[in-house]
Amino acid sequence: MENQSNLSRLLEYAGNHKYLTYASWVLSALSALIALVPYYYIWLVMKEVLETSPDFSRAQNLTHNGWMAVLFAVIAVLVYIAGLMCSHLGAFRIATNLRIRTMEHIVTLPLGFAESFGSGKLRKIVNESSAATETYLAHQLPDRAGAIATPCGLLVLLLAFDWRLGLLSLVPVLLSFLIMMSMTGAQMQQKMKEYQNALDDMSNEAVEYVRGIPVVKTFGQTIFSFKKFKGSIDRYKTWVIAYTKQLRMPMMLYTASVNGVFVFLIAGGLFFTQNNVTTEFLLNLIFYIIITPIISITLTRIMFQSENAMIVNDALQRIDSILNLRPLEEPRHAQHPKDGSVELQHVRFSYDGENDVIKNISLTIPSGQTVAFVGPSGGGKTTLANLISRFFDPQSGTVKVGGVNVKDIPKTELMNTVSFVFQNSRLLKASILENVRMGKPDATRQEIMQALENAQCTDIIEKLPNGVDTVIGTKGVYLSGGEQQRIAIARVMLKNTPVIVLDEATAFADPDNEAKVQEAFSNLSKGKTVIMIAHRLSTVVGVDKIYVIKDGMIAESGTNRELLEQKGIFSRMWKNYQTSVQWKVSKEA
């Protein structure tokens, strides 16, 4: 009844609810057979009407047969509803477990996976692909069981009364089936995959466009920023129109064929009654005209079920595209960092496996030191920091924290050793208290308040209606970029890890917020190993060492003074930075 590999995979997520799924098929098939019984009583009604006409007072069983037809129709509906209840319970359990399984696997993947995969695409796979399996199991499979049972029962009815008319009724069925097969083969499977790819692309671009609206509006780039999103919409439109035109003729032929059974019946009726017309033949002809629309309904249902089976197959392939990704390897023999030192030995990394973003970098950061990664955009600064935090694993070389390869440190312990303050820190739609508590779930309220105070967040708390219990993102409560950064710093302070990575953490801060963020950094970095990624060179003047990263390699390294004396890349960057800081608009008199 279905590609067993896909179906068996889905039923693995059902647990004991799979028996409800089986029951739904049986009930749906039983309902389809019961639904044919009223047609027999309709035939009896017509037979009695024709036999007693024009003196209908001689008809004794019209009422009984009529009510029996109604009774079996109601029973068929009730049995079908019972089948749907069973199928929905099983389908909801499967869809839920599939989402849970996918999310559990995502948690085991490298931390940089979501960003490289695309959040819009990821959301669509987790939500919509699992929802496709729910629709399929809850509706399509029970309907398919009914669609298989219906022709079996219908075949008996078609051949029982007049086998000649019955065979004529099957001719358009055969033609329709052949046309339907031409539309639902391997080519259709490929087209369905292209369709889902176009939807994924459009969904991903939509999410990224919405996220970038603040920047777009700030710099007035509305038309240009819309280009990629519009491009995805145009590609979807082009594909849909081409696909619709391709199926236009087969669909027209299918519709004409599946609904053309009356042509065959009438032609057959004229041929079979050339000599004389009997009451029995007229009765059977009328009966076949009444019952044959079931054929077109059943075939159309089977056609759309074939399409939905392809949708589910594609949905499972997309879910597999996540489940087949290798999770971060957990160490067989766990080791524990001795201190907060960081060391990279001949590290090479590439996102696509071909073009190296990090090229044979080696460096050592002693415990307790503060270093900075600076350099041109796209040089690999953030990627290097991501490797230290094990957002990704390098293709070759070794990354060590506390003298231990990060691959040999349990994931939870590594997260408690290295913390990250992002360029655009994201806060959840929850209270300030709960957002900060994410750094240490068992923290007391007093510990959280102390962390907020050390992160220079007192002014933020005081202006909020419910203080630290105010929920962000509701009732008009929003924080600026600099304020969100300070809350994120409080979270990292509460976590109290020996190694801290700051990725352009003052990028969105205004001058007042930047001063407070810098004060918060000062409190945060006491006794810690701090790695700063910065474009504002004024923030790295007092660090212990500066690494200039260009084209995936360390171009220069040293203190601020040493690099300025070298008259190299950093010196030119410093000169340009000082010029930009001193730049101001002048107005001629």
Q: What are phi and psi of 350, to 5 degrees?
A: -140, 140
Please give the angle made by the CA atoms of 232, 233 and 237, to the nearest 5 degrees: 120
Q: Looking at residue 399, what is its pLDDT?
A: 92
374 and 385 Cβ atoms separated by less than 8 Å? no
Within its chain, how far is the Cα of 509 from the centroid? 33
Amino acid in the structure at residue 96: T
Strand-pair category, 370-374 with 529-533: parallel
Encode pLDDT of 386-423 as tens digits.
888 888 888 899 999 999 998 898 888 888 898 888 76
pLDDT tier, 130 (very low <50, low <70, confident <90, very high otherwise) = confident
Of the candidates 467, 474, 471, 466, the residue with the CA atom closest to the CA atom of residue 453: 467
198, two tokens: 């176009």
Greater confidence (459 vs 330) lies with 459
Q: In this predicted structure, what is the pLDDT of residue 99?
A: 87
Half-sphere exposure of 168 (CA within 13 A, CB side): 22
**Strands 404-405 and 499-503, sheet pairing:** unpaired
Give the model confidence (pLDDT) of 297-311 as tens digits.
776 666 666 666 777
Q: In 3D, which of 496, 581, 491 has the Cα closest to residue 541?
A: 581
Long-range contacts for 127-133 (Cβ within 8 Å, ≥24 apart)? 127/99, 128/315, 129/315, 129/316, 129/318, 129/319, 130/95, 130/98, 130/99, 130/102, 130/315, 130/319, 131/95, 132/311, 132/312, 132/315, 133/10, 133/91, 133/94, 133/95, 133/98, 133/312, 133/315, 133/316
For 19, the token pair is 């028996």
How far apart are the C-alpha atoms of 12 and 1, rounded to whole Å? 17
Radius of gyration of the chain (CA): 35
Alpha-carbon gap, residue 474 to 491, rounded angstroms: 21
User: What span, in angstroms and rounded, lies between the C-alpha atoms of 450 and 314?
Assistant: 51
**Reported pTM:** 0.61
Q: What is the pLDDT of residue 7?
A: 75
146-179: pLDDT as tens digits:
878 877 777 777 777 777 777 777 777 777 777 7
pLDDT at 242 over 50: yes
CB 551 within 8 A of CB 530: no
The predicted pLDDT at position 585 comes to 46
| Nearest partner of 154 among 283, 36, 320, judged by Cα | 36
Query: Tokens at residue 469, please?
Result: 């219990």
Q: How many helices (H) and strands (E) does the chain have?
A: 25, 10
Q: pLDDT for 488-546, tens place per residue?
A: 888 888 888 899 888 775 555 556 666 776 777 777 778 889 898 887 787 788 889 99
**Contacts within 8 Å (CB) and 24+ apart, 446-449:** 447/494, 448/490, 448/494
Are β-strands 356-365 and 396-401 bridged in parallel, bridged antiparallel, or unpaired?
unpaired
Domains, the chain, ordered by start:
4-323 (1.20.1560.10), 342-581 (3.40.50.300)
Q: What does the alpha-carbon distance between residue 322 and residue 32 come to, in Å, rounded to a whole number? A: 39
Stronger pLDDT, 61 or 190, i.e. the higher one: 61
Question: pLDDT higher for 17 or 258?
Answer: 17
Closest CA to 48 of 283, 286, 287: 283
Greater model confidence, 563 or 305: 563
pLDDT for 179-221, tens place per residue? 767 666 566 667 767 777 777 777 777 766 666 666 555 555 5
What's the whole-number mean pLDDT along residues 97-116? 80
